[in-house]
């Protein structure tokens, strides 16, 4: 079993050919899907969204996909949400 242990990623992890994307809120899933859809491939990592309520399997993305870019995108969603909440 292969598990990536790269410490620089907060929201993504590769386990057995699956790219797990940890989302604290399911509402962010649609934004991440729009971000990843242009990167869809016929083989590679199977994307799995890991939310507090469930795990949802989705499309394949290439194995050479930039994991840091995905991690930064998801982190940006959380930072934007926190900024918005602090303004209310």
pLDDT, one tens digit per residue, over 36-85 is 999 999 999 999 999 999 999 999 999 999 999 999 999 999 776 554 44
- pLDDT-derived band at 32, boundaries 50, 70, 90: very high
What integer pLDDT is reported at residue 80 of this predicted model? 65
What is the rounded distance in angstroms from the CA atom of residue 2 to the CA atom of residue 47? Answer: 15
Q: Is the pLDDT of residue 25 over 90?
A: no
- Whether the per-residue pLDDT at 13 is higher than 80: the answer is yes
d(CA 72, CA 46): 19
Exposure class string for 21-55: b at 16+ Cβ within 10 A, else e:
bbbeeeebeeebeeebeebeeeebbebbbbbeeee
Tokens of 77: 């969603």
* Average pLDDT of the segment spanning 5-20: 86
Taking 60 as the threshold, does the pLDDT of residue 5 lie above it? Answer: no
Per the listing, tokens 């991440």 go with 32
pTM across the whole model:
0.83
Domain ranges of the chain: 12-87
């Amino acid at each position: 079993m292969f598990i990536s242990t790269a410490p620089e990623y907060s929201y993504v992890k590769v386990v057995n050919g699956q790219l797990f994307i940890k989302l604290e809120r399911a509402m962010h899933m649609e934004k991440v899907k729009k971000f990843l859809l242009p990167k869809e491939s016929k083989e590679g990592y199977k994307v799995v969204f890991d939310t507090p309520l469930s795990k949802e399997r989705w499309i394949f993305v290439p194995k050479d996909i930039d994991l840091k870019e995905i991690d930064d995108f998801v982190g940006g969603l959380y930072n934007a949400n926190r900024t918005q909440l602090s303004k209310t």
